[in-house]
Structure formats: structure tokens, C-alpha cells
């Protein structure tokens, strides 16, 4: 193997353990993590599919061969063909193009929910774990109350009250996703609560906020990132379920769950309408599960 | 609580039972606050609805005087905590208001639809546990072999499959193409109304009444949704069983048993599996609660006349009383199942006393 000089130098620099800077040490661990991720074929497949989802969502106007909203009743319910790879729906819209735009909806919901729940779950959990006492009792009681509802049912109730729509679906899903994050953050915080470095920081006069942000966050981050990745799969399934029941994204927006739902009326004549979006949901949700499992092996082996 | 205690020694040393009782008492307090919180959530959700609750009762043709009167009658002019108190007392009296669709008391509707859901979820749990637990045990014992990989794939697919889509595909294949199952419902139309309702579980009622054709009709209808839901819980249960078993097999008592010359089968089932039964109970309870989620979607797909179908049709007509009643019922059932598994856990496992 004739590797080019710069690459092998970079490789040597990255795997060398004689660190000359903290930047090198950090890049070293990222590089080793990356190497073990690509060594695990299932995790790498998950990573590749997630990457593909992001690319498809970003380049949707380029990839989609037809306008996803253009209706043409003469072309309604056509079977898959060279012109329409996944056929057309009841309004004559190209299913492939709607699938491509649906990737945007899915990614939008997943990212937004994750951005909302990560800080909320962390702040609630870490505060409860760090401060203890009645703060802990009250915060964990609230968490348990939310946990006691099956998540889709709770999301249904909130979206029913807020009204259908993608933003409301995001809020409804976020309300059901934060409790497990808070529980995890609390459990992680408890393991560091009485560590010497935390006490040292306290003695130096660091406030609660500073200790949580500078000392606890970095240590909780790996397991929370793993949990968030695995959660993305259930966010996708819940969002699709809401869409299926007509509570998520509203027409004419392309959303996979809603696409599968509208296909049910034409199930016998047009199998592709329901089947294709369902396979897309399954693939993406599976990918996040595989990636999450792989990340856990690398970042959080304790909980494997 | 334990007034008889005179020494400083912790009560657990003398007799484990007062402590167990105290723990159960604590968990009842916990349950009560959880229930209160649950109702606070449903109450808040009810208030978030943009629709005017007065208009929902009197219609939009009524005059201002009627509006004011009904507004007062509904207690909407009182402070919010009084309104919440009224809501609590309604719930305690099982009064969830009237459903807009059925024009009946929501509690009456729930009593009618709920057994169908319990029947489906219970059968699904039996299927899921019956397949998932042995699969998990075998996967743990033969870690790294093809059985283990199969279990992993089954588990991952179960976690990732949109259940409403799987139901639709099953209808497409097994009803439309193969004609092997009916497209939905609980029994065939011509079998309806024959069986005398005793428990409202149609499988039990028809068997008790000796209506075997209705019984088979019901089996025919329940099998597809139950297997699909069962698959979802099998995925979860096999994964949990596997990790519990791996944890046990690492212990030294297993090594001791092997050294004594005990065979593989008694080591697995009489030693390791015995020790995970309690954990499994908790996980099965969680899986059951998870199924209540899945039933909402699968009942819609299979037109199964249970709580899920009731809830989704209420959503479509913005029938908030029915929605909140169903959601509260599901929440209460989840809490009850978890409480039950908690109590059984404490009585089975002496370490928790």
C-alpha cells in the first residue's frame, strides 16, 4: 500500500501517545473512536445512512426529479416506472420526490426535538443530582409523572390540545422525550457528586452553575450523546405515528407518516404509496439505532 | 410507624416486614402524587385547547345571557385552583363529562371499549414474553453465535419498525393477496351480538357461552394485531433478557455449579434464570405499558374497537372530554401496572426488604 506521505504522517501523529499538546490528545481520542466506529460494520452502516439522510435533505431540490407539490390528476396512482421511480400518489405527485422532501421534515423534527430536550433534560437531571434534598425529590417526581404516560399517548394529548402542525408536534414530542434524559443526567451526576475534583472546585469557590457546566457536563456528555442518538429513532417513530394519525405535518407538506396514512385508502390499487414511506421510516430509524449502539461501544462502554 | 421499636438497631435486623410495609406505604404516597400530577397534566391540556368550552355546550347561536349563565355554571369564573378541585372531584366520581360523538358519559364509553384493548395487549404480551424470553436466554448462553446475531437483528428491527406501517403491510399481504385474515374488526359482522357479555373479553365470553364459532371468529381477528404488537414487545424483552442473563452468567456461583459438574440445562434454568425472574417481571410490566402506546396505532389500522380507536376518533372530532378521559385512563393503568410489579418485586425478592 503506497500511502501518500502527508496522510501517513498525520496518521502517525494521531495515534502517537507522546502528546505535545492537549489538541493532539483530543484529536487522538476522536481519531481512535472514528477508527473503531468504521471497524464495526453495523455501526458504520448506520452512520452512512444518517449521512445519506442529511445529504438528501440538504440537496432535496437537486435530487428530487419532480416538483413534490405539483398535482396532475391525469397521472394519479401510476405504478413505479422509469419516469416515476416510486410511482405517483392520488394527486399525481411523484412519490420519490416527496420521499426526498420528507427527509427534510424528518430531519427537521428530529434535530429540533433533540436541541430542545438535551439542555432541558440535562439541567433538570444534573441540578437534581447535584443539589439533592428536596430539589431532587421535586424534580424527580415531576420527571416520573411524565414518564408514567406512554409517550405516544402523551404526545397525542398535547398535539390534540395544541392543534395539528409540525411545530406543535415538535413541542408535543419534546415533552415526552426529556424525562429519560433527565434521569440519565441525574444518575451520571450522582456518580461524580462527591468526587475530589468537584469538591476541589467547590473549595475554590466555584458556583453551582460553573461546576455543572465546566465539570459535570463534560463527564456526562458521552452517555447523554449515546442516549440522544438512540432517542432519535423513537422521535422518528413518534413523529411518523403522529403524522399517520393526521396530527403532525399538514398537507401538502411531505411527511413520511402522513404519506403512509394517505396510501391506506388506495392500499389494494397502489401498494407503493404505503410501502415506500414505511421502508424509509424503518431504514432511518434503524440507522439511528445502529449508530447509537456503535457510539455506546466507543464512548460509553460502562453502560453497554 | 414502628412504635414497638425500642433499641437503636435498624428495624430490618429484627423483622423485615414493618420495613417492607413502610416501603409500600411510601410508594403509595408516591403513587398519589403521581396521580395528582397526571391529572394536573390532563387538566392543563384541557385548558390549552383553543376552543371555548362554553360554546361547545350551548352552541354559537345562544345569546349573551345564556352564555354568562353557563359560564358561571361551569365554574369558569372561579379561581383556577377551585376549577382544578372541581376537576379532581369529577374524576374521583368517574365523571369525565360527556362525549360529543357518542352523546354518552365518557366513563361509560371507556368501560365499553377498554376490555377490547386489555384483551389485545394481554395476548400480545403473552406472545412477546413467550418468544422473547427464551430467545434472550439462548442468545446470552450462545453469545456471539448466529442465534445471538439473529436475536440482535430481531431486536433492532422491532425497535425500528413503525408499527402502523407493519400493520398495513400485513393487511396488504395476508388479507388482500392471501385472503388469510379478515381486514379488521373484532368478530365477523354476522357473529356480532350473539355472545352474552360477561367479562367483555370476547375470547372468554364466547368460550364460556359455548359459542365456539364466535370464539374462532374472534381468534381469527385478534391474531394479526396481537402478533404484530407481540413482536414489538418480543424485541424489547429478548434484549433485556439477554443482558440480565449475561450479567448472571458472569457470577462465580455459576462457575461453582459448573465445577460441581452440574449440566448446562440446570445451570441456566435452575440457577441463572431463577435469579432474573424478578427483574423480568419489572421489564414485562414496562413492556405492557409500552404496548398501550402501540395499541393506539394498531387499533386504528385494524379497526379494533378498543381504547386506541376510541381515542383516535375522538381526536378527529376534537372531542376533548373523550381524549382526556382515555389519556387519563391509560396513565392510571400504567401507574397501576408499575405499582403492582413493584409490590410483587418486594415480596419475591428478599434483598429488597
Choose the weakest-confidence range: B7-21, B36-50, B57-71. Answer: B7-21
Q: Does residue B12 surpass a pLDDT of 50?
A: no
Going by the DSSP 8-state scheme, the letter that residue B105 receives in this structure is: B
Are residues B168 and A290, on separate chains, in Cβ contact within 8 Å? no
CA distance A22 to chain B (A): 37
Which residue, among B152, B157, B130, has the nearest Cα to B142 in the 3D structure?
B152
Choose the weakest-confidence range: A41-45, A146-150, A194-198, B12-16. Answer: B12-16
Task: Round to whole Å and give the CA distance between A202 and B268.
Answer: 49
Are residues A157 and B45, on separate chains, in Cβ contact within 8 Å? yes
Q: Residue A71 — φ and ψ, nearest 5°?
A: -95, 145
Q: Does residue A272 surpass a pLDDT of 90?
A: no
For residue A252, is the peptide bond before it cis, meaning its omega torsion is within 30 degrees of 0?
A: yes
pLDDT of residue B29: 82
Per residue in A102-118, pLDDT tens? 999 999 999 999 999 99
Per residue in B103-120, pLDDT tens? 888 888 998 899 999 999
Residue A122 · residue A217 · CB < 8 Å:
yes
Helix pair A166-192, A133-147: axis angle to 10 deg: 140
pLDDT of residue B53: 67
Q: How many other C-beta atoms are found inside a 10 Å radius of the C-beta of residue B11?
A: 16
Name the percent of chain B lying above pLDDT 70: 91
C-alpha cell at B153: 437483528
CA distance A292 to chain B (A): 11
CATH superfamily of domain region A114-304? MetI-like (1.10.3720.10)
Nearest to B162 among A151, A158, A237 (CB): A237
Half-sphere exposure of A137 (CA within 13 A, CB side): 5
Q: Does residue B11 surpass a pLDDT of 50?
A: no
Length of chain A: 304
Are residues A150 and B334, on separate chains, in Cβ contact within 8 Å? yes
Give the pLDDT band (50/70/90) at residue A101: very high
Domain segments of chain A: what residues?
114-304
Give Rg (Cα) of chain B. 25
Highest mean pLDDT among A69-73, A236-240, B318-322: A236-240
Are residues B331 and A152, on separate chains, in Cβ contact within 8 Å? no
Percent of chain B that is helix, strand, coil (3-state, to 5): 75, 0, 25
Length of chain B: 353
Over residues A36-63, the mean pLDDT reads 89
Q: Residue A40 — φ and ψ, nearest 5°?
A: -95, 105
Within 8 A of B293 by CB-CB distance, chain A residues are 150-153
- Using a 10 angstrom Cβ sphere, with 0-12 exposed, 13-18 middle and 19 or more buried, the burial of residue B264 is exposed
Torsion of CA A36, A39, A42, A48, to 10 degrees: 90
pLDDT of residue A149: 80
C-alpha cell at A42: 453495523
Could you give the ipTM of this predicted complex? Answer: 0.86
Residue B330 · residue B307 · CB < 8 Å:
yes
- Residue tagged 400530577 (cell numbers): B37
Q: Does residue B5 surpass a pLDDT of 50?
A: no
Per residue in A225-245, pLDDT tens? 999 998 999 999 999 999 998
Which residue, among B228, B203, B226, B229, has the nearest Cα to B216 in the 3D structure?
B203
Q: What is the DSSP string of B290-340?
A: HHHHHHHHHHHHTT--SHHHHHHHHHHTT-HHHHHHHHHHHHHHHHHHHHH
Sign of CA dihedral B187, B188, B191, B192: positive
Stronger pLDDT, B349 or A67, i.e. the higher one: A67
Stronger pLDDT, B173 or A37, i.e. the higher one: B173
Are residues B162 and A158, on separate chains, in Cβ contact within 8 Å? no
Q: How far is CA A229 from the centre of its chain?
A: 5
Task: Round to whole Å and give the CA distance between A19 and A15.
Answer: 10
Task: Round to whole Å and give the CA distance between A193 and A184.
Answer: 14
Are residues B311 and A153, on separate chains, in Cβ contact within 8 Å? yes
Q: What is the DSSP string of A6-52?
A: HHHHHHHHHH-S--SSHHHHHHHHHHHHHHHHHHSHHHHHHHHHHHH
Task: Round to whole Å and give the CA distance between B250 and B296.
Answer: 40
**Does the beta carbon of B18 lie under 8 angstroms from any beta carbon of chain A?**
no
Which residues between 263 and 292 in chain B have a beta carbon less than 8 angstroms from any beta carbon of chain A? Answer: 289-290, 292
CA distance B207 to chain A (A): 32
Q: What is the DSSP string of B101-130?
A: TT-SBHHHHHHHHHHHHHHHHHHHHHHHHH
Torsion of CA B278, B281, B283, B288, to 10 degrees: -170
Please state whether A207 falls in left (phi above 0), alpha (psi between -120 and 50) or beta.
beta
**Cβ within 8 Å of residue B166, ≥6 positions away:** A278, B228, B231
Distances (CA, A) of A87 to A81, A100, A257, A276, A289: 6, 14, 17, 10, 29
The gap between the terminal CA atoms of chain A, to the nearest Å, is 36
For residue A246, give the chain B residue with the closest CA: B316
Going by the DSSP 8-state scheme, the letter that residue B210 receives in this structure is: T
pLDDT of residue A110: 95
Q: Does residue A295 surpass a pLDDT of 70?
A: yes
Task: Round to whole Å and give the CA distance between B309 and B302.
Answer: 9
Name the percent of chain B lying above pLDDT 90: 19
- Using a 10 angstrom Cβ sphere, with 0-12 exposed, 13-18 middle and 19 or more buried, the burial of residue A67 is middle
CA distance B303 to chain A (A): 13
CA distance A295 to chain B (A): 15
Q: How far is CA B7 from the centre of its chain?
A: 45
pLDDT of residue A276: 92
The enclosing H or E element of A303 equals none
Within 8 A of B334 by CB-CB distance, chain A residues are 148-150
Q: Does residue B199 surpass a pLDDT of 80?
A: no
Q: Does residue B45 surpass a pLDDT of 60?
A: yes
C-alpha cell at B93: 366520581
Task: Round to whole Å and give the CA distance between A203 and A207.
Answer: 10
Per residue in B221-257, pLDDT tens? 899 999 999 999 999 999 999 999 998 888 888 888 8
For residue B177, give the chain A residue with the closest CA: A268
Per residue in A140-180, pLDDT tens? 888 988 888 888 888 888 888 888 889 989 999 999 999 99
Are residues B162 and A281, on separate chains, in Cβ contact within 8 Å? yes
Mean pLDDT, chain A, as a whole number?
86
Residue B296 · residue B311 · CB < 8 Å:
yes
pLDDT of residue B6: 43
Are residues B297 and A245, on separate chains, in Cβ contact within 8 Å? yes
Stronger pLDDT, B300 or B47, i.e. the higher one: B300
Stronger pLDDT, B201 or B139, i.e. the higher one: B139
**Cβ within 8 Å of residue A61, ≥6 positions away:** none
Q: Does residue B276 surpass a pLDDT of 80?
A: yes
Amino acid at each position: 500500500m503506497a500511502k501518500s506521505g502527508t496522510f501517513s504522517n498525520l496518521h502517525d501523529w494521531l495515534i502517537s501517545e507522546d502528546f505535545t499538546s492537549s489538541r493532539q490528545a483530543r484529536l487522538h481520542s476522536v481519531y481512535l473512536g472514528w477508527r473503531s466506529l468504521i471497524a464495526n460494520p453495523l455501526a458504520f452502516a448506520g452512520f452512512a445512512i444518517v449521512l445519506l439522510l442529511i445529504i438528501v435533505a440538504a440537496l432535496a431540490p437537486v435530487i428530487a426529479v419532480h416538483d413534490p407539490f405539483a398535482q396532475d390528476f391525469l397521472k394519479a396512482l401510476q405504478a413505479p416506472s422509469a419516469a416515476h421511480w416510486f410511482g405517483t400518489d392520488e394527486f399525481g405527485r411523484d412519490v420519490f420526490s416527496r420521499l426526498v422532501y420528507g427527509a427534510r421534515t424528518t430531519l427537521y423534527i428530529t434535530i429540533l426535538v433533540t436541541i430542545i430536550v438535551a439542555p432541558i433534560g440535562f439541567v433538570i437531571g444534573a441540578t437534581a443530582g447535584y443539589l439533592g434534598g428536596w430539589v431532587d425529590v421535586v424534580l424527580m417526581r415531576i420527571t416520573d409523572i411524565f414518564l408514567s404516560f406512554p409517550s405516544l399517548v402523551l404526545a397525542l394529548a398535547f398535539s390534540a390540545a395544541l392543534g395539528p402542525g409540525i411545530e406543535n408536534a415538535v413541542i408535543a414530542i419534546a415533552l415526552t422525550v426529556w424525562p429519560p434524559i433527565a434521569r440519565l443526567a441525574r444518575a451520571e451526576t450522582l456518580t461524580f457528586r462527591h468526587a475530589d475534583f468537584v469538591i476541589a472546585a467547590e473549595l475554590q469557590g466555584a458556583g453551582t452553575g460553573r461546576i455543572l457546566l465546566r465539570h459535570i457536563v463534560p463527564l456526562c456528555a458521552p452517555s447523554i450523546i449515546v442516549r440522544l442518538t438512540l432517542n432519535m429513532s423513537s422521535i422518528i417513530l413518534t413523529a411518523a405515528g403522529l403524522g399517520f394519525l393526521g396530527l403532525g405535518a399538514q398537507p401538502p407538506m411531505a411527511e413520511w407518516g402522513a404519506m403512509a396514512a394517505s396510501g391506506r385508502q388506495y392500499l389494494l390499487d397502489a401498494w407503493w404509496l404505503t410501502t415506500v414511506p414505511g421502508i424509509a421510516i424503518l431504514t432511518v430509524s434503524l440507522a439511528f439505532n445502529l449508530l447509537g449502539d456503535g457510539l455506546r461501544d466507543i464512548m460509553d462502554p460502562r453502560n453497554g | 410507624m414502628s412504635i414497638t421499636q425500642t433499641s437503636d438497631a435498624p428495624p430490618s435486623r429484627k423483622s423485615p416486614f414493618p420495613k417492607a410495609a413502610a416501603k409500600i406505604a411510601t410508594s403509595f404516597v408516591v403513587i398519589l402524587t403521581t396521580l395528582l400530577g397526571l391529572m394536573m397534566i390532563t387538566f392543563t391540556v384541557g385548558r390549552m385547547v383553543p376552543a371555548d368550552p362554553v360554546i361547545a355546550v350551548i352552541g354559537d347561536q345562544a345569546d349573551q345571557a345564556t352564555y354568562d349563565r353557563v359560564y358561571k355554571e361551569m365554574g369558569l369564573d372561579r379561581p383556577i385552583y377551585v376549577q382544578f378541585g372541581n376537576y379532581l372531584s369529577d374524576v374521583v366520581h368517574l365523571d369525565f363529562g360527556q362525549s360529543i360523538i357518542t352523546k354518552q358519559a365518557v366513563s361509560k364509553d371507556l368501560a365499553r371499549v377498554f376490555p377490547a384493548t386489555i384483551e389485545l395487549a394481554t395476548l400480545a404480551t403473552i406472545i412477546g414474553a413467550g418468544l422473547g424470553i427464551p430467545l434472550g436466554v439462548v442468545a446470552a448462553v450462545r453469545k456471539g453465535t448466529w442465534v445471538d446475531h439473529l436475536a440482535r437483528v430481531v431486536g433492532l428491527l422491532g425497535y425500528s419498525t413503525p408499527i402502523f406501517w407493519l400493520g398495513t403491510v400485513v393487511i396488504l399481504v395476508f388479507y388482500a393477496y392471501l385472503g388469510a385474515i379478515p381486514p379488521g374488526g373484532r368478530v365477523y359482522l354476522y357473529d356480532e351480538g350473539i355472545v352474552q357479555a360477561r367479562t367483555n373479553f370476547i375470547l372468554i365470553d364466547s368460550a364460556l357461552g359455548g359459542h365456539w364459532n364466535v370464539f374462532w371468529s374472534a381468534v381469527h381477528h385478534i391474531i394479526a394485531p396481537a402478533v404484530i404488537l407481540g413482536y414489538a414487545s418480543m424485541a424489547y424483552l429478548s434484549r433485556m433478557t439477554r443482558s440480565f442473563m449475561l450479567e448472571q452468567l458472569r457470577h462465580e456461583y455459576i462457575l461453582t455449579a459448573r465445577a460441581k459438574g452440574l449440566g448446562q440445562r440446570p445451570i441456566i434454568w435452575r440457577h441463572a434464570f431463577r435469579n432474573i425472574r424478578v427483574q423480568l417481571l419489572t421489564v414485562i410490566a414496562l413492556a405492557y405499558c409500552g404496548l398501550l402506546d402501540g395499541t393506539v396505532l394498531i387499533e386504528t389500522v385494524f379497526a379494533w374497537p378498543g381504547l386506541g380507536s376510541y381515542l383516535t376518533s375522538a381526536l378527529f372530532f376534537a372531542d376533548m372530554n373523550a381524549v382526556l378521559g382515555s389519556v387519563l385512563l391509560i396513565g392510571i393503568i400504567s401507574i397501576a401496572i408499575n405499582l403492582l410489579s413493584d409490590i410483587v418485586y418486594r415480596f419475591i425478592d428478599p434483598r429488597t426488604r
